[in-house]
């Protein structure tokens, strides 16, 4: 009887581990049910809402042009988390912000409407350092309005050149501001990361259990029987790693497809999402490979997995919809598989960027995963010899 090939033995071990994984209630709870339930709860609680930003608009101009601009602005922001509070000429913008009535204010200066066909008065933004996000949003809106004013000037110039009075056109608001400023990560792309956040954490914990089967089998003496068969250590490690990868992909696919079909989550272009998810699962498997390779016991490996999972969850923003922490923490967050995958999925969400623009995120995860699999695999092989 010829011994099995290395690939054949690895396949046999992987199939056996997958069978055991599918019978493991804890894996199904961790890998599939947990993310779906928690993702749904988080999505229902936060999706489309996000933090509300209230911006005051102080219209010192009070002309038909400025009123039409404010009206268009209000319509453009309808349904978003940015609320407008319009105040008349008698209001001091700084007082509004200081009192906390609004987080930032946009001032349309007096004579703005009259200057449309000439050199416009600059728009002013009043904000505080306590709320830089609101100030940024107000600045974004001001930039958009300035661009619109340029457009209005162009329209006015064209109408004047044709001998037509531009005032009715401008006052009727036929040239509307285009509001494109958004506060990431909230908005239309919010729900998919809400599912992926818990998935990342639970999957790491669930896959950790599968990866640790090798240590449990070693402790229980079953691994000795496997090693006494004509099977190489590489086949044993390869089969175990293969099972972890397949389990991770199956669980992720179930959560992504399930959340799309049942709860209507928007994930973006399927192939691009698949690339990110595959790279994420490889990264998870690699890190788990190192943990299992280094740990002396199953219990030790479990402790390290738990610590790492929750560290990644916090730093990578798994339970906060992928919110990136400020400064160096934001960069560290992107180095975690959770953070990198969530950022990639947010960027790739409906109406977002393409994979070409965020290629470095899946590539980083892939590098992390392959390096982990090689290092962890090597350590395990040496242990089995």
Q: What is the phi/psi pair of residue 230, to 5°?
A: -75, 70
Pure H helices in 187-316: 191-211, 213-220, 222-227, 233-263, 270-294, 298-315
Among residues 28, 39, 33, the alpha carbon closest in space to that of 266 is found at: 39
Give the shortest CB-358-to-another protein separation in angstroms.
41
* DSSP conformational letter for 3: P
Binding mask 15-54 for another protein (x = CB under 8 A): -x--xx--xx------------------------------
Q: Which is nearer to another protein, 16 or 67 (CB)?
A: 16
In the complex, what is the shortest distance from the CB of residue 1 to another protein, in angstroms, rounded to a whole number?
A: 5
Residue in 246, 229, 302 with CA at minimum distance from that of residue 14: 246
Q: How far apart are CA 349 and CA 143, in angstroms?
A: 25
State the binding string over 181-220 for another protein (x if CB under 8 A, else -): ------------------------------------x--x
Distance CA 39, CA 192 (A): 9
Q: 294: which 2 tokens?
A: 């280094």
Cis peptide bond upstream of 185, omega within 30: yes
Strands 82-87 and 104-108: unpaired
Q: Of 333, 275, 300, which is closest to residue 219 (Cα–Cα)?
A: 300
Query: Is the CB of 72 or the CB of 238 nearer to another protein?
Result: 238
Q: Is 221 in the site for another protein (CB under 8 A)?
A: yes
Minimum distance between the CB of residue 290 and another protein, rounded to whole angstroms?
23
Q: Is 235 among the residues that bind another protein (CB under 8 A)? A: yes
**Applying CB under 8 A, does 228 fall inside the site for another protein?**
yes
Report, in Å, the least distance between residue 22 CB and another protein: 10
Q: Is 300 in the site for another protein (CB under 8 A)?
A: no
- DSSP assigned state of 123: P
Nearer to another protein among residue 188 and residue 381 (C-beta): 381
Taking alpha carbons only, the member of 63, 146, 59, 54 closest to residue 107 is 59
- With CB under 8 A as the contact rule, the residue among 170, 201, 226, 284 that binds another protein is 226
Q: How far apart are CA 94 and CA 184, in angstroms?
A: 26
Q: How far apart are CA 234 and CA 7, in angstroms?
A: 9
CA distance 42 to 223: 41
Single residue of 222, 262, 363, 374 touching another protein by CB under 8 A: 222
* 383 scored as a contact of another protein (CB under 8 A): no
Q: Which is nearer to another protein, 143 or 381 (CB)?
A: 381
- CA 364, CA 377: separation in Å to the nearest integer? 19
Using the rule CB under 8 A, is 296 a contact of another protein? no
CB of 301 to another protein, least distance (A): 19
Scanning 59-67, 77-85, 198-206, 222-230 for contacts with another protein by CB under 8 A, the matching segment is 222-230
Tell me which stretch binds another protein (CB under 8 A): 9-17, 53-61, 204-212, 360-368: 9-17
Q: In this chain, which of 98, 130, 165, 224 binds another protein, going by CB under 8 A? A: 224
Task: Summarize as ranges the residues that interact with another protein (CB under 8 A).
Answer: 1-4, 6, 8-9, 12-13, 16, 19-20, 23-24, 217, 220-222, 224-233, 235, 384-385
């Amino acid at each position: 009887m010829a011994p099995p090939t290395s690939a054949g033995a690895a396949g046999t071990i992987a199939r056996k581990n997958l069978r055991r994984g599918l019978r493991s209630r804890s894996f199904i709870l961790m890998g599939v049910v947990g993310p779906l339930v928690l993702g749904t709860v988080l999505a229902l609680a936060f999706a489309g809402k996000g933090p509300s930003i209230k911006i005051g608009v102080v219209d010192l101009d009070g002309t038909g042009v400025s009123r039409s601009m404010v009206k268009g602005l209000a319509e453009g922001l309808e349904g978003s988390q940015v609320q407008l509070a319009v105040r008349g000429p008698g209001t001091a913008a700084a007082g509004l912000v200081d009192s906390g009535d609004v987080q930032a204010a946009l001032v349309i200066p007096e004579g703005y409407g009259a200057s449309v066909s000439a050199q416009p008065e600059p728009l002013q933004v009043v904000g505080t350092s306590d709320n830089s996000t609101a100030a940024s949003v107000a600045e974004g809106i001001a930039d958009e309005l300035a661009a619109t004013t340029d457009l209005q000037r162009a329209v006015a110039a064209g109408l004047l050149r044709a001998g037509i009075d531009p005032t009715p056109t401008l006052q009727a608001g036929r040239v509307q501001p285009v509001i494109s400023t958004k506060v990431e990560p909230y908005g239309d792309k919010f729900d998919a990361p809400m599912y992926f956040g818990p998935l990342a954490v639970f999957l790491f914990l669930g896959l950790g259990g599968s990866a640790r089967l090798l240590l449990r089998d070693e402790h229980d003496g079953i691994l000795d029987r496997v090693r006494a068969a004509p099977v190489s250590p590489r086949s044993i490690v390869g089969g175990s790693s293969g099972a972890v990868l397949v389990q991770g992909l199956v669980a992720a696919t179930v959560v992504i497809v399930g959340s799309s079909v049942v709860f209507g989550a928007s994930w973006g272009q399927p192939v691009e999402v698949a690339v990110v998810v595959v790279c994420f699962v490889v990264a998870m498997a690699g890190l788990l490979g190192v943990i299992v390779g280094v740990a002396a016991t199953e219990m030790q490996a479990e402790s390290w997995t738990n610590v790492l999972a929750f560290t990644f969850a916090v730093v990578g923003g798994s339970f906060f919809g992928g919110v990136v922490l400020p400064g160096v923490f934001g960069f560290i967050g992107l180095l975690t598989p959770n953070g990198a995958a969530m950022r990639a999925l947010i960027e790739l969400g409906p109406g977002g960027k393409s994979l070409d623009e965020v290629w470095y995120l899946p590539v980083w995860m892939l590098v992390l995963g392959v390096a982990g699999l090689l290092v962890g695999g090597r350590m395990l092989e040496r242990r089995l010899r």
